Chains A and B, each alone.
Chain A
Amino acid sequence: MANIAAQRIKREFKEVIKSEEVAKCAIKVELLNDSYTELKGEIAGPPDTPYEGGNFVLEIRVPETYPFNPPKVRFITKIWHPNISSVTGAICLDILKDQWAAAMTLRTVLLSLQALLSAAEPDDPQDAVVARQYKENLEMFKLTAKHWTNAYAGGPFVNTDCDEKIKRLIDMGIEEHQARVALSSYNWDLERATEQLFS
């Protein structure tokens, strides 16, 4: 019974690498150790979202009590999304918490995360700053999310205005990611971002 977690991941792993989503390069799973407890997941940013064209890497830890309890998943790739922490990559998604069901698999988890990228739930946020921007200034949110997708997930969208502002801050001695976070949090208002960074 104790080994049910590893046995199941083994089966799931075989299943997921044969799935049509893998064939379409929409999702991907990789084993990181022989005991089937640590895996690397990957999801493609869904089309018609700010994440389109990006590739998002996930850390998947399988608890001993799997599948009776959900896997622990977080984003390794930095992402700007109301339900994902822009700092830690922690995810707020019901099926990874109390709505987990034992018949769910790595494949369904990855597909659910992909769906989360398509449909954010700003009223149940993980990242308050992002959620506020999403609700108050959707266009600004989309621009920021696209920029992050470009910067961290290999997305094709380049915003020269964002890049220039970041460069300005870097020239002032600010680290790139820190600069990006400050600007993103202040709707790309260079003045306010600078103020916050140096206060």
Chain B
Amino acid sequence: MASSTEETIKDSTGDGAQNPETKEDEKKDDSMFECNICLDTARDAVVSMCGHLFCWPCLHQWLETRPNRQVCPVCKAAISKEKVVPLYGRGSTKQEDPREKVPPRPAGQRTEPEPGTNFSGFGFGDNSFHMSFGIGAFPFGFFTSTFNIGEPRPHAAPHGTQQHMEEQFLSKIFLWLAILFLTWLLMA
């Protein structure tokens, strides 16, 4: 369903001159999902912390154009490549236009669900492998991840992709760091 809607969107906005009248109403609804830079339906969509939607290639080019002034093209809030969130719609796995020139979209920041003590769960905890959160909550991260062994857990990135490899690599580093840290704790 998602993909068929997407096609309709592309039809109505893609080469407008063909049938502008019939799809006028649809177009109005879809304008919510238009990229603020190219004004087309956002492809490889990302959203800034201030909530503004862009195609990743469009936003990337904007940030490249003004490396010294990284602001949101809509509201001029501070913005950075690291702090945009990609949007994954249902149809988004079969993107046809990866645009080789542009680097891959930044990955979603995925945190692990809280396991163990509280099974009803608060949904998402802070105890992830991710570099940004990992160091502060470090020993926790280690223990919870040990408890996690054997439990099936959904992966943020599909196997074999660059991102997956990186995640694997990171988790190994963390494991080693954890062992070092514990050794240090025991010694002290």
User: Shortest Cβ distance from A1 into chain B, in angstroms?
Assistant: 7
Interface of A is mostly: loop
**How far does the alpha carbon of A69 sit from the alpha carbon of B39 in the complex, in Å?**
16
Which of A8, A15, A68 lies at the interface centre, i.e. has the most chain B CB atoms within 10 A of its CB? A68
Which of B37, B39, B72 lies at the interface centre, i.e. has the most chain A CB atoms within 10 A of its CB? B39
User: Shortest Cβ distance from A62 into chain B, in angstroms?
Assistant: 14
Task: Identify which of A7, A12, A15, A68 contacts B65 (C-beta below 8 A).
Answer: A68
Determine whether the beta carbon of B62 is less than 8 Å from that of A68.
yes
B61 beta carbon closer than 8 Å to chain A: yes
Kindly list chain A residues whose C-beta atoms are within 8 Å of the C-beta of B76.
101
B69 beta carbon closer than 8 Å to chain A: yes
- B: interface residue count bin: 20 to 34
Determine whether the beta carbon of A103 is less than 8 Å from that of B40.
no
B38 beta carbon closer than 8 Å to chain A: yes
A10 beta carbon closer than 8 Å to chain B: yes
Q: Which residue of A lies closest to B31 (CB)?
A: A15
Number of A-B contacts (CB under 8 A): 43
Q: Return the CB mask of B76-99 against A: 1 if under 8 Å, else 0.
A: 100000000000000000000001
Q: Which residue of B lies closest to A101 (CB)?
A: B73
A23 beta carbon closer than 8 Å to chain B: no
Kindly list chain A residues whose C-beta atoms are within 8 Å of the C-beta of B58.
4, 102
B101 beta carbon closer than 8 Å to chain A: yes
A11 beta carbon closer than 8 Å to chain B: yes
User: A residues 95-119 with Cβ under 8 Å of B?
Assistant: 98, 101-104
Determine whether the beta carbon of A103 is less than 8 Å from that of B65.
no
B165 beta carbon closer than 8 Å to chain A: no
A54 beta carbon closer than 8 Å to chain B: no
Q: A4-B58, A15-B39, A102-B58 are in contact. List 11 more A-B contacts (CB 8 A).
A: A1-B101, A10-B16, A68-B37, A68-B62, A68-B65, A101-B71, A101-B72, A101-B74, A101-B76, A102-B73, A103-B37
